[in-house]
């Protein structure tokens, strides 16, 4: 344990059981108990004895020892926290360098890449992105989940296991969101049908105005009133004919586009003409 603890660090774990008060004279005995617990692979006891030793004798080496215990048991987050607290005690330069080297090994640097580049990288479900690919970053040793988000591409999750002291590289090819080739065709069909319907409504309104003008013409009491009403009837009538033709044409074009759509998607619809009926297949 002494060989492992040449640096020294201790951290109080959230939720750890309360420790009994000890005297500085007992710290060495507690350290020996921690060494024995390590030999027995009993991490929980080793941590508790080191906490008690540090409470009795606030020597930073106990903090470093705690970091070593956590590192050996694979609890890399706790180990990194312990070594950071050890560095906060302002150790001498040689021990500081050793602790910093250990932290670097616990958080090796690596590269996260996507094809195409420019994807947002979310690590372990964080609220904020870690950056944009290609991303060079440091990650704590252990398992991670990396999500790639890129506009017009399908988001992808990837598992990444970072080893202590080893650089890493993660690369993922992102697939484009499937393009519905018939979407433009169907949109044009819906616009054409909608425009045709509006034109037919306008034709109906113009027909009403034409009939009203003709009624005024027949009831005219003077020649000028007769010709004025006749002119209005002519304008409304021809306008109604044009609007009706446009409306029928719009409906016909829209129906043709829907009928001739070879592969309506789940998000589309098409007109289906049967022997004695006309229906719509799919959904809008």
Q: What is the pLDDT of residues 117-129, one digit of tens each?
A: 999 999 999 999 9
Q: Is the pLDDT of residue 13 over 70?
A: no
The average confidence (pLDDT) of the chain is 82
Q: Among 24-33, 75-84, 223-232, whose mean pLDDT is lowest?
A: 24-33
232 or 129, higher pLDDT: 129
Q: Is the pLDDT of residue 2 over 50?
A: no
As a whole number, mean pLDDT of residues 66-78 equals 91
Q: Is the pLDDT of residue 62 over 60?
A: yes
Question: What's the confidence (pLDDT) of residue 23?
Answer: 65
Question: What's the confidence (pLDDT) of residue 264?
Answer: 52
d(CA 240, CA 211): 11
Q: What's the pLDDT tens digit per position in 153-175?
A: 999 999 999 999 999 999 999 99
- Please tell me if the domain spanning 24-105 has the same topology as the one spanning 109-173: no
As a whole number, mean pLDDT of residues 16-43 equals 73
21 or 84, higher pLDDT: 84
Strand-pair partners of 109: 138
Question: What's the confidence (pLDDT) of residue 20?
Answer: 47
Q: Where are the alpha helices (DSSP H) in the chain?
A: 24-39, 43-56, 60-72, 76-87, 93-106, 183-218, 223-259
> Rg of the chain's alpha carbons, rounded to an integer?
40
Residues 174 and 154 sit within 8 Å (Cβ to Cβ) = yes
Confidence of residue 181 (pLDDT cuts 50, 70, 90): low
Question: What's the confidence (pLDDT) of residue 240?
Answer: 85
Which class is domain 24-105?
A: mainly alpha
Domain at 109-173, CATH homologous superfamily = Carboxypeptidase-like, regulatory domain (2.60.40.1120)
From the list 32, 60, 55, 61, the residue with the least C-alpha distance to 45 is 32
Question: What's the confidence (pLDDT) of residue 185?
Answer: 78
43 or 260, higher pLDDT: 43
d(CA 27, CA 60): 12
Supply the DSSP symbol for 88. Answer: T
37 or 10, higher pLDDT: 37
Domain boundaries, the chain: 24-105, 109-173, 183-282
d(CA 160, CA 131): 16
As a whole number, mean pLDDT of residues 229-242 equals 88
Question: What's the confidence (pLDDT) of residue 127?
Answer: 94
The tokens for 230 are 């006749």
Q: Is the pLDDT of residue 57 over 90?
A: no
Q: How far is CA 222 from CA 210, 216, 227, in A?
A: 19, 11, 9
Residues 143 and 160 sit within 8 Å (Cβ to Cβ) = yes
Question: What's the confidence (pLDDT) of residue 22?
Answer: 52
Q: Is the pLDDT of residue 255 over 50?
A: yes
Supply the DSSP symbol for 178. Answer: P
Q: What's the pLDDT tens digit per position in 267-284?
A: 444 445 455 554 545 444
């Amino acid at each position: 344990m002494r060989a492992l603890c040449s640096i020294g660090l201790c951290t109080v774990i959230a939720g750890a059981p309360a420790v009994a008060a000890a005297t500085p004279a007992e710290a060495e005995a507690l350290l020996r108990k921690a060494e024995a617990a390590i030999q027995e692979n009993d991490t929980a006891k080793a941590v508790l004895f080191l906490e008690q030793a540090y409470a009795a004798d606030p020597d930073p080496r106990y903090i470093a020892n705690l970091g070593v215990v956590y590192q050996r048991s694979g609890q890399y987050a706790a180990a990194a926290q312990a070594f950071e607290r050890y560095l906060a005690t302002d150790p001498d330069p040689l021990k500081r360098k050793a602790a910093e080297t250990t932290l670097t090994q616990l958080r090796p640097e690596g590269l996260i890449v996507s094809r195409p580049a420019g994807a947002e990288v979310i690590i372990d479900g964080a609220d904020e992105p870690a950056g944009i690919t290609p991303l060079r970053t440091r990650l704590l040793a252990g398992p991670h989940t990396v999500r790639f988000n890129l506009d017009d591409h399908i988001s992808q999750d990837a598992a990444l296991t970072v080893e202590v002291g080893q650089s890493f590289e993660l690369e993922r090819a992102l697939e484009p969101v499937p393009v519905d080739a018939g979407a433009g065709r169907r949109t044009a069909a819906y616009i054409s049908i909608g425009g045709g319907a509006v034109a037919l409504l306008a034709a109906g309104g113009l027909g009403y105005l034409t009939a009203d003008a003709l009624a005024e013409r027949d009831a005219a009491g003077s020649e000028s009133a007769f010709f004025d009403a006749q002119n209005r009837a002519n304008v409304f009538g021809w306008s109604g004919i044009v609007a009706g033709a446009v409306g029928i044409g719009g409906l016909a074009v829209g129906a043709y586009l829907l009928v001739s759509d070879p592969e309506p998607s789940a998000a589309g619809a098409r007109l289906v003409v049967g022997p004695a009926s006309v229906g719509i297949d799919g959904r809008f």
